[in-house]
Amino acid sequence: MAGRRGLADGTGSASVAPPDGRRREEILDTASQLFASSGLRTSLQEIADACGIKPGSLYHHFDSKEAIVVELLKRYHAELDRAARTGHGQLAGQDRPPSEQVLRLGTAIAECAVRHSAAVQFTFYEPPAGASEELARLARLVPSAIEAAMLETLRAGQRDGLIRAGMDLEVLADRICQTMLHVGLGLFHRYAAVHRVAGLLCGIMLTGLSAGAAGDAELDQSPAMLAVDRVIGQWDDGDQAPDDERVSLVRRSARAEFGRRGYEVTTVRDIAAAAGLSTGTTYRLIGSKEQLLDAIMSSFYQKVMAGWEAALGSGSTAAEKLDALLWLQINVLDKFNDEYKIQLAWLRELPPDAALPQWSFSTAVRRLRTLLGQGSRQGQLRVDSPSAELTARCVIELTWMPERIVRTEGKRAALILGRDTVLRGIAAR
């Protein structure tokens, strides 16, 4: 490990320790990697061990784990701001076609998100209880500079005839930026070539996957959409009421706490306090935090799986099935927002210590690969990437709609935006 350059080199003399500035950066880089894979359950001892230093040496640079998290968030936002300034500068130079400008800026955002994966994860949850005002502010900070740069890039593209008329460019800029930042959450962690991921995501959003016209009226009445709507209509508010109402209360409280702060940092004490029960009573009701998580997520994945089966099992075209999955995901985000945030932990390389749900990401990727392959062979979809696995992962990513858009624009507008950025494409054909 990089940190071991400060240890004895085995020749009888100690190697020269790196200067304080470089050691500090090594600690931050190591902590970022550990947080990205294991979450905030990572301890200072584990960070020190990974750096090859003693905890006392780590405290010389950072007085707490929170201080490290704050610095990681600062680095992340600073790099996004630099990417925004670069994007504005390149746009002023007009040295590339509009489509390349979008791709270039989108790639810069995705690469930043991958380098700062831990910081991106922190922005999806509320800080732990007792966090400082500075940490809370940084975790909630909207990356407005990079969104403004993307908006200007899209406006230039529309002036040059790249972007279709009538598109809400502000919402579209939000969609593209959030999609690229989502690359840092882990769905693509096996792909070292981030530019390939960014290029495919941008390509789909620009040109769309549907080989033919995908009109709203026709899509609204497709067998796949009607089948998914029936599943959505059968959703309830969560658990079938247990015999003990307190069990239902604990599950509701746990969903909210896990979704708000993340699984790792939420304790049974936190859940008990939210439910207004004692910690001992809560343990007796739910057994363990892991068992509670499994009960919550099993119910959630059964509902999601029913929607997928309804869409994919319908007699619709491939494009109509993708459209129905878009609608499903929008409704999942709207109705089961806590569970959606909880499942982000499974995107990491090291998920929580609990059994994976039946409907796993690998299953979704496999089913989507089959759908995309069939649609391409039948001439219904335009799938140009040589990697079926990567394409399927990108399409799954694009079925996700940023929560801010769903909340502010509404589910119907979010669906139209999804159709524009997945099926029809935002570029003028």
> Encoding tokens for residue 37?
């894979």
List of residues 6+ apart from 124 with CB closer than 8 A: 185, 341, 344
DSSP for 353-371, written as a single string: SSPPPSS-HHHHHHHHHHH
pLDDT tier, 347 (very low <50, low <70, confident <90, very high otherwise)? low
The set of residues, in sequence order, having a beta carbon less than 8 Å from that of 291 and lying 6+ positions away, is none
pLDDT digits (tens, 9 = 90+) for 183-236: 988 777 666 789 999 999 999 999 999 998 779 999 999 999 999 999 999 987
Question: How far apart are the C-alpha atoms of 155 and 76, rounded to whole Å?
Answer: 26
Strand, coil or helix: 211: coil
> What are the chain's domains?
2-59 (1.10.10.60), 65-207 (1.10.357.10), 216-424 (1.10.357.10)
Among residues of the chain, what percentage have pLDDT more than 90? Answer: 56
CA-CA distance, 252 to 64, in Å (whole number)?
32
Around 241, how many Cα atoms within 13 Å sit in the side-chain half-sphere? 3
Distance (Å, rounded) from C-alpha 26 to C-alpha 163?
43
Which of 313-322, 359-368, 392-401 comes out lowest in average pLDDT?
Answer: 359-368
Given a contact cutoff of 8 angstroms between Cβ atoms, the answer to whether 426 and 330 are in contact is no
Instruction: Return the pLDDT at 351.
Output: 54
- Residue 100 predicted with pLDDT over 50: yes
Contact status, residue 35 vs residue 350, Cβ threshold 8 Å: no
Q: How many CB atoms lie within 10 A of CB 327?
A: 25
Residue 385: helix, strand or coil by DSSP? coil
pTM value? 0.87
Q: What is the mean pLDDT of the chain?
A: 86
Q: Is-contact 47 30, C-beta < 8 A?
A: yes
Q: Which residue has the higher pLDDT, 286 or 419?
A: 419
Cβ contact 387:303 at 8 Å: no
**Mean per-residue pLDDT, 51-76:** 93
Q: Please say whether the beta carbons of 223 and 320 come within 8 A.
A: yes
Query: How far is residue 244 CA from its own chain's centroid?
Result: 35
User: Which residues touch 30 (CB under 8 Å, ≥6 apart)?
Assistant: 1, 2, 3, 47, 50, 51
Tell which residue, 103, 95, 100, 27, has the closest CA to residue 65. Answer: 27
Q: Is the dihedral of CA 416, 418, 423, 426 positive or negative?
A: positive
For residue 170, which phi and psi values (nearest 5 degrees)?
Answer: -65, -45
- In terms of C-beta density within 10 A (0-12 exposed, 13-18 middle, 19 or more buried), how is residue 421 classed? buried
- Which candidate, 313, 320, 374, 314, places its Cα nearest to that of 212? 320
How confident is the model at residue 12, as a pLDDT?
38
